[in-house]
Amino acid sequence: TPLRGERDEEHQFGISIPVRGWIIESDYFRTGVKNFFDHNPLGNSNIFFPLTIARARIRAFEVTARSPLLFGRGRFHLAYSRQKIEGQGAVTGGLTDFAPPADFFLLDHDQRHTLSTGFVIDLPSRAFASATIRYGSGFLDGDNSPNHLAGHTLFDLSFGKSFGEDWLIAIQSVNVANRRFLLDNSNTFGGTHFVEPRQVYVEVKYKFHY
């Protein structure tokens, strides 16, 4: 069956509140989708074909907070999202098919809670340090389960220093604690994935003048 063109209709509202240098923002949105574009595997293989599902709805509440310069040294930031993604109806296009429930069913993109928070501190001699904590409540456990995988938390660190007006050298470590856990086991993302182990990056920046 030919793929159908996806049509989205989104409604959203939000508010931004400045409080003594802090910026607090909150918004809610609801997206209704006709012919939702997705993927499905060919049997149990790693071959994926696009398909369209009759309907989908995405609902989310988000809040962010950004601080002013605190104690003359650092800034704090926070971002939180509560989201629910559901599909409904039969497959309307594509080369593969499946039998979805009659009512709304969770899609594998669904991760209910996502949080990121951290700070950046200015150090002497034009150096800086930053730390970030990232939390996810877990994606859908498999393709047909209403349950979700366990939640997970990661910790990242970064240090850097500027030299002169043009040079910046920084080192960043992602997943500092070297945690290992199952991140996803749905077919849309190509099978089972575990979180990547600790990674360390070195960054060198030079500002060109024109």
In a domain, 51, yes or no: yes
Which CATH number fits the domain that encloses residue 64?
2.40.170.20
In a domain, 2, yes or no: no
pTM over 0.75: yes
- Per-residue pLDDT at 12: 94
In a domain, 1, yes or no: no
- Per-residue pLDDT at 126: 92
Question: Beta-carbon neighbour count of residue 136 at 10 Å?
Answer: 20
* Stretches in the chain below the pLDDT threshold 50: 189
In a domain, 58, yes or no: yes
The set of residues, in sequence order, having a beta carbon less than 8 Å from that of 183 and lying 6+ positions away, is: 139, 149, 152, 193, 194, 195
Reference 167, options 208, 122, 111, 114; nearest CA is 208
In a domain, 169, yes or no: yes
- What's the domain range around 91? 7-206
- Per-residue pLDDT at 1: 75
Provide the CA 194 distance to its chain's centre, in angstroms.
16
Number of domains the chain contains: 1
